[in-house]
Amino acid sequence: MTTKPKILVTEALGPAGLAYLQERANVDAHDLLAPELLPDQMGSYDAVIIRSAHRLTRELLVDRPRLRVVARAGAGVDNVDLAAATECGIAVINAPGANAIAAAEHTFGLILAVMRNIPEGNTHVRDGGWNRQAFIGQQLYGKTLGIIGLGRVGREVSRIARGFGMNLYGYDPYISDEIFRTHGVTRAQTLDELLPKSTILTIHTPKTGPHLGQTALEKLPRGAVVINAARGGLIDEAALSDLLHRGHLGGAGLDVFTQEPLARSNRLLENGHVVMTPHLGGSTHEALANVGVMTAKGVIDALEGRTPPNIVNVPIPPLESDRFRALDRLAAQVGHIFARTTEQAGHTLILSIVGKIPDTASLWLRQRVLAAVLNERLDDRVNTVNALLKAEAQGLQLLLDERFDASSPASLALRWEGNPESETEVTLQSDSVHLRAIRGIPLELPWPERALVTRHHDAPGVVGKVGTLLGEFGVNIANLHLGRQAEGEDALMVLALDAEIPSDVIDALMNVENIHQVYVFG
């Protein structure tokens, strides 16, 4: 019986995410674990999930042989040492886009609050006033919204903005023209092109996005409004305060700050044209539930040996979930089958990536295949996260041979350089893995959940002896496939089995005349 993994949840995750974890793992959950208690507990868990109150530093991550996964229940992972996690082979999970709608709606809450003087008007009425003339605002219709970052949140912002009848411009050097066109956003090639056009400017990037200092903010038109519900530190707060006091900027809406909680000495507090909230962008009941479930699913995927699409320290391509998982299985199987059935014949592997596979998937597939190969050969922890580091330490390199073709099925083939007879090939058919070759010997079969593979001399009677022996041990054969290069030479037999194979069967098979090797899968 497989032992369930043990997971520590340091802050409230939400009932749906917690329930998902509890069905699959032993979970110790806290509404808020005191940060000083975390170091003593880190080494006792297979996975640790944090939110914002904890930092996972190098000191907390190294020398934790049990720890395999850490997760940030949110989009940003600034409080996780990614380099240290990668070196240790620890998967880092987050929840990108789970709160995109909430963050986009909060962005417009700030825009409307600033443009329509809503906070001031509320205070005025509560104080007994009714001076409508003092709080005349500006409508959004016809205004130009400049969006820095057209990721998930930026796209939701553009969707809402179109409903207000706004003109949309955007800057994002990492997003394709097709995405801009699809979302009705005119592309600015540079920030210098975007800023002078932006009546309202909003930013939706990680901390690595552009930093808006005095020079950049001065390029906004006079009276412009600046919104930041993304990350603190993306906007120079001193420069923003100065331009607001000078009247160059008309207002600002801020949900995030360089220092949180906000220091009482921050000059932005003195300006009545600034609306501020305490990092509420993703804080809706619906978003918190989505974040919890996405985080929980990613953690369980990683613990069970799959590559989660929301893993941070692996170059994951933008693919639909089902397609991603199918390619993940394909890469894992080609590496697994190759490493188990082929002896090392050099220090350079060639991975052929053929057919209907996006070019953005190459680096991820390379790491996934390497991890599967090295897992068969090393006792150390090896996974997609640290596969490149482990391969380098072994003096092993993997080169790519890419032949993308949307009209043919996705196929991966792995071989030792200069040794075509070592090749293992698999392909996707209806998102299921099909075997095409092992050790350069052609085969054609759907790869089974449990398989027995024999490498034997192509001689009469071998197949019958194997079938008889399995029958004596009560092992039922579901399917049998044969492959050979030429009569009387090396041959392969792949048997799909209905049950696990007792170890005694392997020993007995190795004593069958003409059988050279036996490999068991599943």
Question: Which sequence positions are flagged as catalytic?
Answer: 231, 260, 279
- The answer to whether residues 290 and 73 touch, using CB atoms and an 8 Å cutoff, is no
DSSP string, 229-244: -S-TTSB-HHHHHHHH
CA-CA-CA-CA dihedral for 297, 88, 232, 17, to nearest 10: 20
DSSP 37: G
Question: What share of residues in the chain are helix, strand, coil (percent, to 5)?
Answer: 35, 25, 40
Q: Coil, helix or strand for 390?
A: helix
Q: Which residues contact 368 (CB under 8 A, 6 or more apart)?
A: 307, 328, 331, 332, 335, 384, 387
Taking the C-alpha atoms of residue 520 and residue 522, their distance in angstroms, rounded to an integer, is: 7
3-class state of residue 260 by DSSP: coil
Partnered with residue 351 across adjacent β-strands are 400, 414
Cβ count within 10 A of residue 330: 25
Handedness of CA 372, 377, 383, 386 (dihedral sign): negative
The burial of 128, by beta-carbon neighbours within 10 Å (0-12 exposed, 13-18 middle, 19 or more buried), is given as exposed
| Secondary structure (3-state) at 399 | strand
For tokens 């069970």, what's the residue? 304
CB 311 within 8 A of CB 93: yes
Given a contact cutoff of 8 angstroms between Cβ atoms, the answer to whether 441 and 491 are in contact is yes
127, amino acid identity: D
CA distance 203 to 201: 7
The label of the residue with tokens 């990037």 reads: 205
Task: List, in sequence order, every residue forming a beta bridge with 321; answer none if it has no partner.
Answer: none
- The letter for the amino acid at 141 is Y
**Which residues neighbour 50 within 8 Å (Cβ) at sequence distance 6 or greater?**
10, 11, 56, 70, 71, 72, 73, 79, 80
Identify whether 261 is preceded by a cis peptide bond (ω within 30 of 0). yes
The two most distant CA atoms of the chain are separated, in Å, by 101
Q: What is the dihedral of CA 122, 123, 129, 133, to 10 degrees?
A: -60
Paired tokens of 236? 């120079």
CA-to-CA distance for 337 and 521, rounded, in angstroms?
Answer: 8
DSSP element (H, E) containing 187: strand 186-187
